[in-house]
Amino acid sequence: MRTYRHPSSADDGIWFKTGLFALLAGLAFWIFQQFGGDKKEESLPKVESPREAPATCRVPEDILPTSTTGAVVRHTYYVLSYSEDHEQAEWVAYELLRERLQQPWVERFGAFRPDPDVRTESATPRDYSGSGYDRGHLVPAADMAFDAKAMDETFFMSNISPQVRTFNGGVWRELEENIRDWAKRMDVLYVVTGPVLTRPGLGQIGFNRVTVPSAFYKVIYAPQQRNAIGFVIPNAMSDRPLLEYACSVDEVEKITGIDFFLRLLRGAEERLEADADKTLWPTSSRRYERRLREWNRE
């Protein structure tokens, strides 16, 4: 026959220690969740899956490159492939149309902010604070100045990459302005831009460890003229003429591991990937002189 034993003070001590241990373990787990691991520095709502291509997305599917990450995000006027390992897009793709460039420009505006459509969460503006690098647009805000929404979407951090200031405001600016000239002359251009992430970078910045690319590229295709050209430019100040950085699409593909205009450049058109006829892409000598005189010193 089992006898009843009244709880002793020893039992009380065991229960007290067990409860205390559970309390401390829970506190430690909470601290880790708040300050440890890979949690983003800002408390942002989780997005379970990327948004489907919006009905208003106006980027033709045929112009999109291959994605090495599978994280393709569609905005209204540009599409990107996000690299979580580097916390920036590996490419952005969009149309540049003469008719849009000839419209009155909206006032430049937009707040740098995380991209809500990046499933893994994008970098944040604070990653760049005090880094010494510019928040460099991949899709230039000026290319989207025809529409307030188009302009605003260029300030998503998924469209931003760390750039040396005299690169961003120098040779890269010169290339962007020449591309707008080409679009006005050729009527339509398909543009793909991104950082070179296959080469060692210049380090990392911010809480989210954003890679600082050592170079950037652009690939441009003029469908009406059936001509294409590429550029690969180091992320540094440059005194060299712009066309010295020009190359074939094939060369950019070898450097980046990305296939460009796969659906457009087929059969006989594949020759456009191997050739880069610089004479069809004239640059402004006055703009180059201004870069040397002013932009490289700002």
Domain ranges of the chain: 61-297
pLDDT at 12 over 60: no
Phi/psi-derived region of residue 127, left when phi > 0, alpha when psi is between -120 and 50, beta in every other case: alpha
Q: Are strands 204-205 and 88-97 parallel, antiparallel or unpaired?
A: unpaired
Please tell me the least confidently modeled range out of 46-55, 72-81, 288-297. 46-55
Query: What's the pLDDT score for residue 277?
Result: 86
CA distances, 124 to each of 158, 162, 207 (Å): 9, 12, 9
**Of 76, 93, 61, the residue nearest 147 (C-alpha):** 76
Residue 66 CA, chain-centre distance (Å), reads: 15
Greatest extent of the chain over all pairs of C-alpha atoms, in Å: 106
* Cα 187 to Cα 268: distance, rounded to the nearest angstrom: 23
User: Under a CB-based contact definition with an 8 Å cutoff, are residues 258 and 276 in contact?
Assistant: no
pLDDT at 38 over 50: no
Span between the terminal Cα atoms of the chain, in Å: 94
Catalytic residue (one of 6, 75, 86, 137): 137
CA distances, 85 to each of 44, 161, 203, 214 (Å): 19, 13, 13, 16
Mean residue pLDDT of the chain comes to 85
Does the 61-297 domain belong in CATH 3.40.570.10? Answer: yes
> Percent of the chain at pLDDT above 90?
72
Catalytic annotation on 137? Answer: yes
**Of 175, 180, 179, the residue nearest 101 (C-alpha):** 180
Please tell me the least confidently modeled range out of 45-54, 57-66, 134-143, 145-154. 45-54
- pLDDT category at 267 given cuts 50, 70, 90 is low
Please tell me the least confidently modeled range out of 49-53, 62-66, 166-170. 49-53
What is the pLDDT averaged over residues 120-133?
Answer: 96
User: Under a CB-based contact definition with an 8 Å cutoff, are residues 252 and 200 in contact?
Assistant: no
Q: Is 51 helix (H, G, I), strand (E, B) or coil?
A: coil
Query: What's the pLDDT score for residue 172?
Result: 98
